[in-house]
Structure 1
Amino acid sequence: MTNLRTKDIIALGFMTFALFIGAGNIIFPPIVAQQAGEHVWLAALGFLITAVGLPVLTIMALSKTEGSIAILSSPLGKVASLILTVVCYLTVGPLFATPRTATVSYEIGFSPYFGNGNAALFTYSVIYFAFVTAVSLYPNKLLDTVGHVLAPLKIFALAILGVAAFIIPTGSISPAINNYVASPVSEGIVSGYLTMDTLGALVFGIVIIHAIHSRGVTDKKLVTRYAIIASLISGVGLTLVYLSLFKLGLGSHDVAPNAANGAVILHAYVQHAFGDLGSLFLTALIFIACMVTSIGLTCACAEYFSELTKIPYKILVLILVLFSLVMSNLGLTKLIAFSVPVLSAIYPPAIVVILLSFFWKKFNRPSAVIAPVTAISFLFGIIEGIKVTSFKNYLPEIVQTLPLNEQNLAWLIPSLIVLIICVVIDKVKK
């Protein structure tokens, strides 16, 4: 029986952590902190529940199914399970998340030097995806390239930023604004929920399992154990990074008053803390952060669609990278406009499937419980998706009166009600 060496277990945890931390994870907490003001740690509590807790639970759930979303969602039935799996992979892969890593890393790190022209973005994205392709073509070496090299570089850069946030403060704490005044915890929960890391975790599960297999570990119990350890290491890392970024954004009002987004705060802070070298440091950090996430997404999508279609893995890597290259040159605004409604619709059913997977053995017929609850969460997820489009005015008035509608969690209470009903029926009918 093959066991992982300690250094490989640590590298696996580092790799899992690095896969999650993209540009969005780095630029989002500072703006939450600035807007939450004196209520920042209440908002942080809510944020950590959904931005750390849910992704870690997702990896744990997938560790028992060899990283397969299809097995995890099997109680939905073959057709519904296939649709959910394919949509998850496409959405957080070549349709949105992978191209976004290139677009965001360019806009944050390189546009100050090369401008916002189409030619500059195209040249950058070609170079960027050439790196992604070079690493993604060899998934069995992922633990070596990402776990032992890229992830430590990423962690080192984040550690510098995190330590600086505590020893080089920026200024006074600003008052809370918007929903952070009255309900900082629930607003933090929604903010963490909207990072979409849980969907990312659904895709990364297969990458983590294959990384364990690449070291010759085949025993299912050991694979599950190592995946759970990796998820816990990544959870600790994510928590430390988010707390330091909240601290960074907490006093940022003096250097970046009323910032439009977290990127503005980060630029202002690194300039304040490190001078002109700060911009170069931020560029390197964002580049590595996005690169690792893009590699993970490309490998995961190629692995899944290779199993589904029997097309060779390396050919799929090239197809996915070329598609992502084209999509990245549409621009960030169009990418977001296209993807957010889809993400809003599939996130609720994905959460339901993940959480209920831990209770399969408690149900007499898991499909009779999980399928109806997932269906109702998907129905309300579609409503959430419509709410962020130009068709929102066509929704009936009653939608606006639903509990937790303002927090984008209108699906939660109906799903809980259907869950209770289905569990009772399941127990009574046996």
Structure 2
Amino acid sequence: MILRKLRDITTIGFALFAMFFGAGNLLLPPFIGLQIGDHVWITILAFGLTGILLPFLGILSVTNSGDDFNDLGHRINKNLAAILGSVIMICIGPLIALPRTAATTFEIGILPSFPDSNPVWTSIFFFAVTWLFSIVPSKVVDLVGNVLTPFLLLVLVILIGMGIANPITAPQTGILSTSDSFTLGFIEGYQTLDVLASVIFAGIIISATKAKGYESITTKNKVVIASGALAATCLFFIYGGLIYLGATSDIQNTHISRSALLIHISNSILGKYGTLAIAISIALACLTTAIALTTAVGAFFNKLTKGRLSYKLLVTASCILSGILAVTGVDNIIQFAYPPLAFVYPIVITLVLYIVIFGRSVKSKLPYVAALIASTIIALLNVLKIFDMLNADTLTWLNHIPFFAYELGWVVPSFVFFAVGFFISKLPYGTTRFNR
């Protein structure tokens, strides 16, 4: 029984790791390491706080609320889950994140070795494989956790292990101070946007856990949390290792592209096998994430429409649309993606944090609604700033909001609104409407 439970936790934990670890997560840490010099450990810690801990809290928030994102949203308002969930699914699904996985696979995994290759054929093949793995949702976690992830981890562990045992050079003194290095790691980890995926992936993981026979709330939660802890541990080792490889890369040009840096590191450590190792890593990282996202899109909208749109139809449509958009290229997708993600991310992270921190002690809905209103306002203002729709006076005023310049301006206002909402909810008439 114990061995079976450990095997299930390993399978689910590996699957969750692979779901989170997309191509962007492979490209970003070495680039951070390039900039922080010898401040490696403090940067790894900072990146782990926002790039690993926050997504883990996203899983925890759903687990504590029920079985999927709908249960989390219903803690605040019955319509919130449908509206916010749909926005999240469109963003991390066929409109942005899914096509980016195929585009990244082509540009980094295929193009360096085959410069005359056509992105159309890569996109078709990539989403055909994604469709085959996604079409039976009950098998997704086992296929990803038992088949794809071990290969991905093996390649990355070899690369990182050899890079640590025989570094290209010792970490050099960087231009950033210790505090600046911490800030860089913290902000970049925050901007991985993995919290968006976490509240959706939680439903897949919980469903897989229940399918393996862990039906009671206690056993289900223990397995999900243990699996999440395993995934977080793997992410911490891989992220930390990649940051270290960036810091020891012996590259002086901090304007080098992320893909060129990663290829340089891999070739320096693995020699002639370096390009192949990166191609395999990119392909597997993108494919596992694409499978998880496609499955999540199909399951979410199938449930939202109460079965009127079949899971297979949704998965097929998602793959076709994503395949078409993937051909436009990574840069175009990223440029298009930034504003909608910048809007929805603070709202989701506010929901996650306040449910995890206060969910057991604060039962009134009013404080949570107030915090979400504050985050929504700040997020909207941030989007207006992105589109240069704010005048200089307004922008100057907004920069007085703590952390607004770092896209964390929602933190203090949401807490203030939460506190005010909590105070009002304690008044005799304060909870009449919001606690029904």
Same fold (TM over 0.5): yes
Q: Hey, what's the Cα distance between the residues in 1 that align with 2:216 and 2:118?
A: 48
Q: Which whole-Å CA distance do the structure 1 matches of 2:325 and 2:138 have between them?
A: 27
Number of the residue aligned with 1:61: 61
Q: Which position in structure 2 is the counterpart of 1:233?
A: 230
For 1:198-277, list aligned pairs within 5 A: 198-252=195-249, 254-255=250-251, 257-277=253-273
Given candidates 314, 317, 332, the residue that maps to 1:319 is 317
One-letter identity of the residue aligned with 1:82: A
| Counterparts in 2 of 1:390 and 1:125: CA distance versus 1, 3 Å | farther
Q: Partners in 2 of 1:130 and 1:392 — Cα distance?
A: 44
Equivalence map 1:23-422=2 (5 Å): 23-115=23-115, 120-177=118-175, 183-252=180-249, 254-255=250-251, 257-309=253-305, 310=307, 311-358=309-356, 359-365=358-364, 367-391=365-389, 396-422=395-421
The structural deviation recorded for 1:393 is 5.4
Contact persistence 1:349–1:378 (CA under 8 A): yes
TM superposition shift of 1:66 = 4.0
Residues 375, 140 of structure 1: CA spacing in aligned structure 2 closer, same or farther, 3 A cutoff? same
Deviation per CA, 1:360-389: give whole Å up to 9, x if none: 331241x11101101111110122223333
State the one-letter code of the partner of 1:381. A
Q: Can you list the C-alpha shifts for 1:84-133, whole angstroms capped at 9, x where unaligned?
A: 11111111111111111111121111111233x7x711110100111100
Q: Which residue of 2 aligns with 1:8?
A: 8
- Greater shift in the superposed pair: 158-167 or 75-84: 75-84
* Contact 2:187–2:406, Cα closer than 8 Å, also in 1: yes
Output the CA distance in 2 between the equivalents of 1:389 and 1:245.
33
Q: Using the alignment, how far apart are the partners of 1:40 and 1:380 within structure 2?
A: 32
Secondary structure of 2:340's partner?
helix
Quick one: percent identity of the two aligned structures? 28
CA distance in 2, matches of 1:283, 1:391: 41
- Structure 1 residues 9, 361: closer, same or farther in 2, change over 3 A? closer
CA contact (8 A) 1:75 1:370 kept: no
Q: Distance in 2 between matches of 1:364 and 1:142?
A: 36
Counterpart Cα distance in 2 of 1:2 and 1:243 = 31
Question: Structure 1 residues 320, 2: closer, same or farther in 2, change over 3 A?
Answer: farther
Q: Write the letter of the residue equivalent to 1:313.
A: Y
Alpha-carbon distance change, 202 to 334 in structure 1, aligned in 2, over 3 angstroms: same
Instruction: Measure how far apart 1:75 and its partner are.
Output: 3.8
Alpha-carbon deviation of 1:142? 1.8
Q: Distance in 2 between matches of 1:3 and 1:58?
A: 28
Q: Which runs of 5 or more structure 2 residues have no equivalent in the other structure?
A: 432-436
Indicate the SS of the match to 1:147. Answer: helix
Deviates most, 234-243 or 64-73: 64-73
RMSD: 2.2
Residues 273/417 of structure 1: CA separation in 2 closer, same or farther (3 Å cut):
same
Structure 1: how far apart are the matches of 2:277 and 2:39?
30
SS at match of 1:114: coil
- Separation (CA, whole Å) in 1 of partners of 2:167 and 2:386: 36
SS in 2 for 1:406: helix
Contact 2:367 2:419 (C-alpha < 8 Å) held by counterparts: no
How far, CA to CA, are the matches of 1:369 and 1:422 in structure 2? Answer: 4
Give the TM-score of the pair, scaled to structure 1: 0.93
Q: CA deviation at 1:356?
A: 1.6
Letter of the 1:144 partner, please give it. Answer: D
CA positional deviation for 1:425: 2.7
Deviation at 1:421, TM superposition (A): 1.9
Q: Is the 8 A contact 1:259 1:265 kept in 2?
A: no
Q: Is the 8 A contact 2:65 2:75 kept in 1?
A: no
Q: Classify 1:187/1:427 alpha carbon distance in 2 versus 1 (closer, same or farther; 3 Å).
A: farther
- Which range moved further: 224-233 or 394-403? 394-403
Give distance in 2, aligned partners of 1:51 and 1:15. Answer: 17
For 2:415, the aligned partner's letter is L
Deviations 1:288-337 (A, max 9, x none): 11100100010011001111112111111101111111111121122112
Count of aligned pairs between the two proteins: 425
Against the structure 1 CA distance between its residues 9 and 270, is the aligned structure 2 distance closer, same or farther, given a 3 Å change threshold? same
1:255 shift after superposition: 4.1
SS in 2 for 1:362: coil
Preserved CA contact (<8 Å) 1:114 1:120:
no
CA deviation map 1:204-252 (0-9, x unaligned): 1111112223323322322222111110000111111111111101122
CA distance in 2, matches of 1:215, 1:205: 15
Give the match's secondary structure for 2:371. Answer: helix
CA contact under 8 A between 1:352 and 1:374: conserved in structure 2? yes
- Tell me, yes or no, if the aligned pair for 2:378 and 2:410 is still in contact at 8 Å: yes
**Counterpart Cα distance in 1 of 2:15 and 2:183:** 30
